[in-house]
Amino acid sequence: MELYYKEFGEGRPLIILHGLFGASDNWLSIGKRLAEQNKVYLLDQRNHGQSPHDEVFNYQAMAEDLKTFIDRHGLDRPVIMGHSMGGKTVMKYAELYPDGFSSMIVVDIAPKYYPVHHTAILKGLQSIAVGQLKGRQEADTQLAAHVSEAGIRQFLLKNLVRQKEGGFAWKINLSVIADQIESVGESSGSGELSTKPTLFIAGERSDYIQEEDVPTIKRAFPKAQVLSVAGAGHWVHAEQPEKVVVLVEEFLANNP
């Protein structure tokens, strides 16, 4: 699959993958900062953003999409980075293509199984009568019956696009994501996945990476560092972007 992408800067290739319900735009400000010293590629994963929709939605397919992108662009051992679902994608890529990257950054996700916990979000998105919407405020009101946090609703509704012929549509492939949501939480495996330099960035207030997950991370990635960002939840890059930039730049400087 040929993924939609944005690119900035020159130098060492750095690929960034967003999380579930997200898109490349979520990393735009950080991507531009990192592009001051790197060639940054922000990708929309399948069934998200402006990339194609497909009935297959699992980490095997998403890792192969990443491989296709790297090959088509002739990227030599890029740094691969992913948040949440994107982090699981880069971990799968590392397992499948151990020599296809130089180092890896995983943001607020561990290589463990996560039970489905997006039920309210999916019900909320599916409850929106997209074909009958008169405006975004109406969509927000409908979604609020299922998702109380205004910031999360704002993030989710970035997936709602106004069509040229009138009305609204989802950019995400909502039906396929809902049908295959179980695969998003699957474990990355229990054995060693990569000995390449790896940085795990955790949100201090997030429960996605906990202290008891560190041994699992170290087994899978023996050269991994696990660093926590104070004052951040799961959306580390949105809540503490400057701290994320500093951690990434330091990691890249120490792993040329």
Residues 6+ apart with CB under 8 A from 239: 203, 231, 232, 233
Active site residue 83: no
DSSP conformation class of 77: S
d(CA 132, CA 116): 29
For this structure, is 84 an active site residue? yes
User: Taking the mean position of all CA atoms in its chain, how far away is CA 117?
Assistant: 16
Identity of the residue numbered 70 = I
Pick the catalytic residue from 18, 83, 234, 237: 234
Q: Which position has the token pair 């023996």?
A: 222
Three-state SS at 194: coil
Out of 48, 51, 83, 84, pick the active-site residue: 84
Tokens of 179: 């049908």
Tell me the C-alpha distance between 249 and 243, whole Å.
10
Shortest CA distance to 90 belongs to which of 212, 200, 233? 200
Task: Report, as residue numbers or ranges, the catalytic residues.
Answer: 84, 234
